[in-house]
Amino acid sequence: MTNLNGIVEQINLLEPIPAIASQIMTKSEDPDSSLAEIADLIIKDPALTANLLKICNSAYFGLPRKVESVKGAVAWLGLDQIVELVLTNSVSGKFNKGLEGYGLGEGELWRHAVTSAHVAKSLAHRYGASQNKHLIYTAALLKDIGKLILGRFVAFSFEKINILVHSQGYSFNDAEKNVIGMNHEELGAMVGEKWSFSEKLIYIIRHHHLTDESARQDLETTLIYLADIICMMMGICSGTDGLSYRFYSDVLKRINVSEKDLQAIIAETSENQQKIEHLLKLF
Amino acid sequence: MGKDQRNTNAVSSMIAVNFSEMKISSNPVETLVAFSIGSGIGMTIHDPVGGVGGVLNFILPDSTKANGSNPAKTPYMFADTGITAFLKALFEQGAKAENLKVVIAGAAHVLDQTGVFNIGQKNLEALKTCLDGYDIKIHHEASGGTQSRTISLEIGSGASIIKIFGQEEEKV
């Protein structure tokens, strides 16, 4: 087993997300906070504002005229979209790199993160969690943050992990835990604690593979799990871990996802992928 | 996933076939690739006599079951409409049913994903039913399991190559 302190210390070396991004994250997760409060936060940060306006004025959105203020951007695109862009922009630098151990090339973890965030948002609408759509989007985007640190340890122990997964029926996250002593969900939750994420966001990151039975009762965590499963099934930048995670059909039944629904969501994701490819180029 | 990568000066060129897409070529320097296939299926078909081949990358078994999507717009998303259109396009390019070499990769599943939610298995069954209708045999099949696969077809040699991360590639 690897020295866990050595892994945990790596959290300190990970450059934290900007303070403004975590403030916006906290505000956007709170259903009671007003959209105007979030817009105010963005306006107070000139660098963020400049970046946001550049994105809003890109060909992707095809706005009829140039937007020159946050207020204007909100008026054209709606604050929900603006919040999403700010959150996505604030973490893009971290996720855009390649990831050894998980066999992901440059940009692949990022493509997976953004696609699963969009799938999760769509699931939030379908399954009655719209009031928490920002939390769900953010959680899907950040759920694999632990992989950023664990990657090199997975690379080092890859053969052992691979044997457990492919000869002994372990899920990839259970094999990580068994061989390294920690899996990417636990490590991701520790990053979330260090960066003062909300309790709920940390909870979702820690349980996004639903290994803990109690998490299967939680709607938001379930939706992020399901978005992840859908991306795995579609092969959206799956790496060495592939589809080696556990499937819980009772969870799908509990939130009333039929086989037909699952297929419809996959079809919808496929149809939206072109748009997401264009979106990825903005960051 | 990936972008089209065409380099006309290169000795060989690689063309990505994303999910819900199909591509056909008779250019011997081209290799068609379907990257990172999960529960969908990457299917290569080659006619060595006609020198034509293609790759279909579908993700769902049945065009009538995915509510809200329009199979007329996205025929290659589904086994039923995709394989029919794929074969039709190959025949139009001069391929003959009796010459076809079919190789498939994919139909993986998430651990414990059994029964109705095992879309990979359903994709495989739909593919076989469809090919049976044309009396076309599968030359080589790499399916099931929990690993994602990449399959490519070299138009020049007619060889299909299947890759799984961390394993030796299979060339058939």
Domain-wise residue ranges, chain A:
16-95, 96-283
- In the A/B pair of chains, how many CB contacts fall below 8 A? 125
**Interval B6-44: pLDDT, tens:** 545 556 799 999 999 999 999 999 999 999 999 999 999
The parent domain of residue B141 ranges over 13-164
Strands (E) in chain A, as ranges, are: none
**Interval A46-90: pLDDT, tens:** 988 999 999 999 989 999 999 999 888 988 898 888 888 988 988
A163 has a chain B CB within 8 A of its CB: no
CB A229 within 8 A of CB B32: no
Verify whether the Cβ–Cβ distance B60 to A232 is below 8 Å.
no
Residue B118: closest CA among chain A residues belongs to which residue? A259
Q: By CB neighbour count within 10 A (0-12 exposed, 13-18 middle, 19+ buried), where does A173 fall?
A: buried
Please tell me the CATH code under which domain A96-283 is placed. 1.10.3210.10
Q: Give A-chain residues touching B116 at CB under 8 angstroms.
A: 259
pLDDT at A237: 80
CATH of the domain at B149: 3.30.1330.200
Cα separation of A93 and B68, whole Å? 35
What is the least distance, in Å, from the CA of A210 to any CA of chain B?
Answer: 13
What is the least distance, in Å, from the CA of A23 to any CA of chain B?
Answer: 34
* DSSP string covering B81-118: HHHHHHHHHHHHTT--GGG-EEEEEE----BT--GGG-
Q: Give A-chain residues touching B58 at CB under 8 angstroms.
A: none
Q: With a CB-CB cutoff of 8 Å, which residues 122-161 of chain B face chain A?
A: 146-148
Query: pLDDT grade, residue B2 (50/70/90)?
Result: very low
The structure tokens listed for A41 are: 């936060």
Verify whether the Cβ–Cβ distance A242 to B165 is below 8 Å.
yes
What is the ipTM score, two decimals? 0.92
Ramachandran quadrant class, A33 (left: phi over 0; alpha: psi -120 to 50; beta: rest) = beta
- Measured on CA atoms in the order B48, B54, B59, B61, is the torsion positive or negative? negative
B107 has a chain A CB within 8 A of its CB: no
pLDDT at A283: 84
What's this model's pTM, rounded to 2 decimal places? 0.93
Across the range A2-18, mean pLDDT stands at 88
**Interval A198-226: pLDDT, tens:** 999 999 999 999 999 999 999 999 999 99
B74 found inside a domain: yes
Give the residue from A103, A233, A246, A112 showing the smallest Cα distance to A172. Answer: A246
pLDDT at A96: 87
Query: pLDDT grade, residue B1 (50/70/90)?
Result: very low
B3 found inside a domain: no
Number of domains in chain B: 1
B121 has a chain A CB within 8 A of its CB: no
Residue A128 or residue A164, greater confidence? A164
